[in-house]
A and B are shown apart, each in its own frame.
Chain A
């Protein structure tokens, strides 16, 4: 099992550009989430999903969109990148909301 995978590992964007961060899991988990982690800070929930076709907003959803068309994939779209979105992004999956398995993270810099 690969667990939770994320691409890309690193990304630099210019203000106003858009992009999609990819996340996939092969554990057949129903629940998937996106977090952002700013330097020296905790993890803040952006969006989450409890199954294919179902998504909801977390604590800091503005500027991000998600969709969940399959159990395996949960991409995060940045609509118009801003310097405030410079952060490390983690995708996570879990079964029934219990132990979360995290991907390796995407380090995003917006200039």
Chain B
């Protein structure tokens, strides 16, 4: 099955700094690369995703970059704010994996005011 690793497991930044989280995966058939945000006590929610025919996607302060050759993709958050504090998960997969997604172990981001 898919082997997914996320780094770092915890990340603490000052408000206004940037944060980068990296996700590596093993299944070269994966064609969908999402990032989910989970606030304390809440359900995970998609914040940004990218498909395999695109190298980068940006949505205001967040961006995702993909390197299919090296089998990794990264979440970039600029100008971090305290409300960005949460756990972030990657879950590479897509329609080639019969709906079976493997989630990374998560990165706990803390933004200090």
- Chain A residues near B (Cβ < 8 Å): 30-31, 33, 35, 41-45, 48-50, 56, 58-59, 90, 94, 96-100, 102-105
Contacts and interface: CB of A to CB of B under 8 A. Distances in A.
Contact of B97 (A42, A97, A104): A97
B44 A90 contact: yes
B96 to A, nearest CB: 8
A16 to B, nearest CB: 29
Counting chain B residues whose Cβ lies within 8 A of the other chain, the interface size class is 20 to 34
A100 B37 CA distance: 12
A42 B89 contact: yes
B88 to A, nearest CB: 11
Interface of B: 1, 32, 34, 36, 43-46, 49, 89, 91, 93-106
B interface secondary structure, majority: loop
Contact of A104 (B43, B49, B104): B43
A105 B95 contact: no
A43 B103 contact: yes
A32 B104 CA distance: 19
A33 B101 contact: yes
